[in-house]
Amino acid sequence: MAQPAPETPFGTQEAFHAAFAELYPRLVSYARRYGAVFPEDIAQESFVILMQREVPVEHPTAFLYGTVRTLSLTERRPMKNQNLSLEVVNEPGLAGGADDQVLNQEVRERMRMLSPTFREALWLFVVEGLSIREIADILDIPEATVKTRIHRAKAQLKDQLNPTGGVHVLV
Amino acid sequence: MSWSDPARRFEPAEDVQLRAELRDLLGLGPGRAPSEVEPTPELKALAEDLRREAQRRSRTQRKRPTWGLLAAAALPLLAALAGLGGWGVQQKHRADDLAAQTLRQEQELTRLVASHSTELAMERQAKAEVQQQLQLASRKGNRKNEPFLVIPVGAPLKVTGDDYQRVKQDPQH
């Protein structure tokens, strides 16, 4: 008689393995973008913290991203670079690995031109594919603020594509 | 994907459209469907290690003290504080009583001083009146009234030879 599979934040054990296989490289990349020295450790620690919780979280993916963000910023804290927000995207040697498979040079240049605040929300929404609600959980801000940042990032991207002028409205 | 997150299952259509527009603006092309990543044996082993680590930490994690435990720990402190407060209140009452008693004694002393001063003034006034009356009486009266005895005498006594007798003493042999 087969024993029931242990419950995980993502459901069955097979579902947890699938989620881990998809999310782990992304979380490592995400930690690396914050300049973490040991991004793999941070991603693994985030999974442990998630599974260690007695009360299950509503959005495990958002919880993982938020934990990685917090741990990465905490790791950087002794270097007094708390205000950095995905600033290391284009720094040589720091943004390699999985990032290069996702973004080409042109896209990275466009992202770099955005203000760090908008870039962070845009990155999570477009590249990581997270929902507005998840991003709000990760950044600990209201959903309306996330939408505003994404729309402003969109406006800045349009300005980049049409530098000579043109009028566009914020929708 | 074999795992699901409710936050993404119920994503509004406008958000999906916005993401597609942004991907287009960034030049990322159409969004890829959530492909099911086949976990490698290494990733499976790592996931299981992390799960075991989480279970181990859950077992060995020191439980946070409950409110009852905190209350029990704080009870001696609260009792000490209450005792100290009671002693302080008692000392304050005692000090108030002493202050009131001192005030009463001071008022009594003031009253006694005022009374004695009045008596002294009355005595001085009475003495002055007596002296004044004595002076008036001495001015009005004659010498008979003087406070010494006067004996009137007649002619002075003459000293005669018989009045005295020389007494010779014989030398003793």
Q: Kindly report, residue by residue over B33-58, the tens digit of the pLDDT.
A: 555 667 888 888 899 999 889 888 88
Residues of chain B positioned with their CB less than 8 A from the CB of A60 = 5
Which tokens hold the place of A80?
């007094």
Q: Per the CB < 8 Å rule, is A14 touching B2?
A: yes
Q: From CA A71, how far away is CA A159, in angstroms rounded?
A: 34
Tell me what pLDDT residue B122 has: 95
Tell me what pLDDT residue A107 has: 78
Tell me what pLDDT residue A145 has: 93
CA-based nearest residue in chain A for residue B10: A131
**What ipTM was predicted for this assembly?**
0.71
Tell me what pLDDT residue B66 has: 81
Q: Per the CB < 8 Å rule, is A157 touching B44?
A: no
What is the residue-averaged pLDDT of chain B? Answer: 81
Q: What is the mean pLDDT of residues B55-84?
A: 87
Tell me what pLDDT residue B39 has: 81
> pLDDT tens-digit profile of A103-137?
677 777 888 888 888 888 988 898 888 889 889 98
Q: Per the CB < 8 Å rule, is B39 touching A21?
A: yes
> What does the DSSP assignment read for A21-53?
HHHHHHHHHHHHHTT-S-HHHHHHHHHHHHHH-
8 A C-beta contact, residue A18 and residue B34 = no
Q: Per the CB < 8 Å rule, is A129 touching B38?
A: no
DSSP assigned state of B150: -
Report the gap between the CA of A68 and the closest CA in chain B (Å).
Answer: 15
pLDDT at A96 over 50: no
What is the residue-averaged pLDDT of chain A? Answer: 78
Q: Per the CB < 8 Å rule, is B54 touching A10?
A: no
pLDDT at B117 over 50: yes
Total-model pTM: 0.57
Q: Which residues pair with A11 in a beta bridge?
A: A8
Among the partner residues B7, B28, B58, nearest to A131 by beta-carbon distance: B7
Across A75-89, B12-26, B84-98, B137-151, least confident range: A75-89
Percent of chain B residues topping a pLDDT of 70: 71
Torsion of CA A111, A114, A118, A122, to 10 degrees: -20
Q: Per the CB < 8 Å rule, is A126 touching B58?
A: no
8 A C-beta contact, residue A99 and residue A127 = no
pLDDT tier for residue B8 given thresholds of 50, 70 and 90: low
Residues of chain B positioned with their CB less than 8 A from the CB of A118 = none
> pLDDT tens-digit profile of A47-94?
999 998 888 888 889 999 999 999 998 876 554 444 444 544 433 334
Q: Which residues of B touch A (CB under 8 A)?
A: 1-8, 11, 15, 18-19, 21-23, 25-28, 31, 34, 36-40, 43-44, 46-47, 50-51, 53-55, 57-58, 61
- For each of the domains in chain A, give its residue range(s) and CATH number, in order of start: 13-161 (1.20.140.160)
